[in-house]
Chains A and B, each alone.
Chain A
Amino acid sequence: MTSFPKTDRKLFTFILSLVIGGTAAGLWLNAHPGDIPTRSTVTLSVPVGYLSYSDLLAATDATLQVTVTSSPLLYLDFGKDGLPDYKGQPGLPVELVSADVDDVLRGDPALKGKSIILRQPSSSRSNQSETAVDRMSRGGRFVIVASEVVPNPGVGTSPKVWIPVGSGQGIFDVNSDGSLSVRRSGVWPEIFGKDGSLRVKSLPNS
């Protein structure tokens, strides 16, 4: 029987331990990107983003405080003509929700008290990089920085819909104490917070 000299055994043990440890760690880390083996339609986009709050305001029509009053309805957006351009084109999945305008912070004051339709990306998107930063659920209160647009054919029946812009930059959650939370903090230089450095508006307590 062949026996290794003691120094070779130590060296062998050292190398083997190093290889096993390193490989195990590498495998563990690399396992994460593939954690979702199967899922349905995924949409990944390059969203329009704004480098400052003033840029966001300049690009939009109004700043509204709203309460979402309906569950989302899913539509597939096929563009201006409302038709697929090729067989099997999936269309852009979007959702419409109804919302009551509680207050108009900027824009047409006549909107106050009216019901409007909001368009938001569908929840069927990727659950990885594009999370729910730009979605609003029924019963939620929000301040939105939004633009009014004519929807493409087949996307609901309303002649106009509102789109909060900036992939979540244009949505602020209204907390129970009336304060606002930024959906995407750190994406622009302005600071929003209770230190009063910049407020969208002081809202009454709920």
Chain B
Amino acid sequence: MKHRLLFNSVTIAVIGAMLGLGLTTGAYAYTTTGCKYSPGSIDPISYRFFSVADSSYVDATKYSANGWNATAAPGYFAEESLSLDPEVNVTDDAYGANTFYAQVSYTCSGGLYSGNEVNLAWNSDEAPSRTTSQKQRIGTHELGHAYGLDHVSTLCRIMRADAGYMTDCTITMPATDDVNGAIAVNS
């Protein structure tokens, strides 16, 4: 009798585990970098433009910030043009053609951004050839990194970054999975 009870419990636990895995996997079309802003400092996430020569990057970054702000992601982005210590430092410069469109860099310590800031750099050797919507897509992608999201290979997610990223989908706003990722990291 005891053995049967034990067997039943184990069986049910295994079924529960499978259900748990299935549910979690199903809601898991995002990956995280393991680093984020310190809790309580994302209302707002301030950003500032430093010597950005191409106004289209300014426009795309603002569009992307507003795009994230329109979602259920925690916190919000806000431009603070005079901030001496913004949480996103935005620049543009020439880093070579055929390399990358834009990038985010940061230092991580204990799972949090050092200095509570990330650096967003547009590559003016490459990004100018992109359309307005593609720049918006790139900007939204980079701000997704600021939210602590890493790349995915799933189609039509803003955090995708493979060769077909520019052509397969036309999204410029975060997809549901992207937003769920931002919520998971920052809530």
Contacts and interface: CB of A to CB of B under 8 A. Distances in A.
Contact of B93 (A35, A41, A50, A79): A79
Interface in A77-106: 77-80, 85-86, 88-90, 92
B163 A49 contact: yes
Given A92-B103, A147-B98, A163-B99, A25 B17 contact: yes
Given A42-B106, A42-B108, A51 B24 contact: no
A188 B167 CA distance: 13
Given A20-B16, A39-B108, A59-B98, A49 B162 contact: yes
B39 interface: no
A89 B105 CA distance: 10
Interface centre among B32, B89, B96, B167 (most CB of A within 10 A): B96
A84 to B, nearest CB: 9
B157 interface: no
A187 B166 CA distance: 14
Interface in A27-44: 29-30, 33-44
B99 A48 contact: yes
A129 B111 contact: no
B110 A88 contact: no
Contact of B16 (A22, A47, A119): A22
Interface in B28-55: 28, 31-35, 50-51
A200 to B, nearest CB: 18
Instruction: Please classify the interface of chain B as helix (H, G, I), strand (E, B), loop, or mixed, using the class held by over half of its residues.
Output: mixed
Interface centre among B19, B50, B93, B162 (most CB of A within 10 A): B93
Interface residues of A, number: 60
Interface stretch (B6-14, B62-70, B169-177): B6-14
Interface of B: 5, 8-10, 12-21, 23-25, 28, 31-35, 50-51, 89, 91, 93-111, 115, 119, 121, 126, 138, 141-142, 145, 150-151, 161-167
Interface of A: 13-14, 17-26, 29-30, 33-51, 59-60, 77-80, 85-86, 88-90, 92, 119, 126, 128-130, 147, 149, 152, 163, 165-167, 169, 187-188
